[in-house]
């Protein structure tokens, strides 16, 4: 078969900013999925996108082409609104765990297709797999049945959703093109739109522990993704949220599950509760329930009931003991004062070095490994007081984790309180 376009011509058009036709862009994605376009050629195209950007229409076409590379799911017939949430990832970000059952407790279906972590940010599936027996892999029929019966499912995305993105994502990781906003946005939104949800709320992190370190780029990403969702008929809003400090007091896997259960029981750290409630309100508003009393559902047991049923439905035991580390080390304050800074990036790297994350997709996560934060910025401390406790199954991991924390915190006289919600982006 004669190909209608040539990859070199498409690369040159993107490189020289002469404009790409819709047909050429769709062909480029399709031909790469078919392995006609080589990795070297797609690498050159991705770099040209990173350097020159893309128009809103070009990003829409590329996203649509990535969706067309695989299956498209539908939850029609459930008799419920479907609404999903996506976070761009951060340190201690366990929000999906309490959020999905909380929103589902209002009769809304939450199809949360999640992933595993790579690098300093933990994956939702890694956290849940610390629960004995829990399984991430569900068939489409199992997912639909669970959504119909319980309202919430957190599981692995099937390989049939946007396979073009799977190839391109791996390529971006090794070619220095991960940061390209059009590629980030099309990667996230191709999977979310293909998933078939009615509405979507985006949690775009900004700060030292996030993908986007500065607010302007976080805004650009949020606006691009909201536009993609809107153009595809998915009601989409975004919250830009602070990720300079880790979320909550637990960073890891099993310990983040414990903290999530505290939130579902009506307790938990204030910042985790604040963000969970804010995202739940956004999701429920898109589902037609703008006045839902989400705080009450955390205190009266409704959300916890859905959590327990959800865990059981996927083979887990909600009452099982979670893994705990064999080795611990506590870092103490060198001086008295107020904790003014606790760097999310450094804490994330330390947790990763303890075994809570992975450097390669095939690496095994140590579910018991992680860090407990005893204080957060704004808290008063005295010299010798515990600041954080590191946990690992292998004591040899502790020294390198401690190295990552050497300049991770500051103690001063006072600090200004920061709001976790930085900005709200709508269509």
Catalytic site residues?
86, 165, 172, 187, 191
Tokens 């980030």 — which residue?
A: 184
Distance from C-alpha of 113 to C-alpha of 46, rounded to nearest angstrom: 26
C-alpha pair distances (Å), 157 with each of 71, 292, 375 = 12, 29, 36
Length of the chain, in residues: 427
Helix (H), strand (E), coil (C) string for the chain = CCCCCCHHHHHHHHHCCCCCCHHHHHHHHHHHHCCCCCHHHHHHHHHHHHHHCCCHHHHHHHHHHHHHCCCCCCCCCCCCCEEEEEECCCCCCCCHHHHHHHHHCCCCEEEEEECCCECCECCHHHHHCCCCCCCCCCCHHHHHHHHHHCCEEEEECCCCCCHHHHHHHHHHHCCCCCCCHHHHHHHHHHHHHHHCCCEEEEEEEECCCCCECCHHHHHHHHHHHHHHHHHCCCEEEEEEEECCCCCCCEEECHHHHHHHHHHHCCCCCHHHHHHHHHHHHHHHHHCCCCCCCHHHHHHCCHHHHHHHHHHHHCCCCCCCCCCCCCEEEEEECCCCEEEEEECHHHHHHHHHHHHHCCCCCCCCCCCCCEEEECCCCCCEECCCCEEEEEEECCHHHHHHHHHHCCCCEEEECCCCCCCCEEEEECC
Please give the distance of CA 271 from its chain centroid, rounded to a whole number: 17
């Amino acid at each position: 078969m004669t190909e209608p376009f040539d990859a070199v011509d498409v690369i040159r058009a993107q490189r020289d900013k002469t404009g790409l036709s819709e047909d050429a862009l769709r062909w480029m994605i399709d031909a790469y999925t078919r392995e006609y376009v080589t990795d070297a050629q797609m690498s050159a195209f991705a770099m040209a996108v990173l350097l020159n950007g893309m128009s809103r229409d070009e990003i829409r076409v590329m996203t649509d082409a990535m969706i067309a590379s695989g299956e498209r799911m539908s939850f029609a017939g459930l008799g419920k609104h479907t609404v999903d949430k996506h976070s761009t990832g951060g340190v201690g970000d366990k929000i999906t765990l309490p959020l999905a059952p909380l929103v589902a407790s209002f009769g809304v279906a939450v199809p949360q297709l999640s992933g595993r972590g790579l690098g300093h940010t933990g994956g939702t599936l890694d956290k849940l797999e610390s629960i004995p027996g829990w399984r991430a892999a569900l068939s489409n029929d199992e997912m639909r049945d669970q959504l119909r019966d319980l309202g919430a499912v957190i599981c692995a995305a099937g390989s049939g959703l946007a396979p073009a993105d799977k190839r391109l994502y791996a390529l971006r990781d090794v070619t220095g093109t991960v940061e390209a906003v059009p590629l980030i946005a099309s990667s996230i939104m191709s999977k979310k739109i293909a998933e078939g949800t009615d509405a979507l709320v985006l949690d775009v992190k900004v700060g030292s522990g996030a993908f986007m370190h500065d607010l302007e780029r976080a805004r650009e990403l949020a606006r691009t993704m909201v536009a993609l969702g809107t153009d595809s008929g998915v009601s989409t809003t975004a919250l830009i949220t602070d990720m300079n400090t880790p979320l909550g007091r637990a960073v890891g896997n099993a310990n983040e599950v414990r903290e999530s259960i505290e939130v579902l029981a009506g307790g938990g750290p204030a910042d985790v509760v604040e963000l969970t409630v804010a995202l739940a309100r956004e999701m429920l508003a898109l589902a037609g329930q703008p006045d839902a009393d989400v705080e009450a559902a955390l205190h009266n047991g409704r959300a916890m009931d859905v959590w327990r049923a959800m865990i059981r439905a996927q083979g887990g035991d909600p009452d099982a003991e979670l893994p705990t580390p064999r080795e611990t080390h506590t870092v103490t304050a060198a001086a008295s004062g107020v904790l003014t800074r606790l760097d999310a990036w450094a804490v994330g790297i330390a947790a990763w070095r303890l075994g809570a994350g992975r450097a390669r997709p095939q690496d095994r996560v140590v579910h018991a490994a992680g860090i407990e934060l005893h204080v957060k910025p704004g808290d008063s401390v005295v010299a010798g007081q515990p600041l954080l406790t590191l946990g690992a199954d292998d004591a040899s991991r502790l020294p390198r984790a401690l190295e990552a924390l050497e300049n991770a915190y500051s103690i001063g006289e006072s600090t200004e309180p920061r709001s976790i919600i930085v900005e709200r982006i709508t269509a």
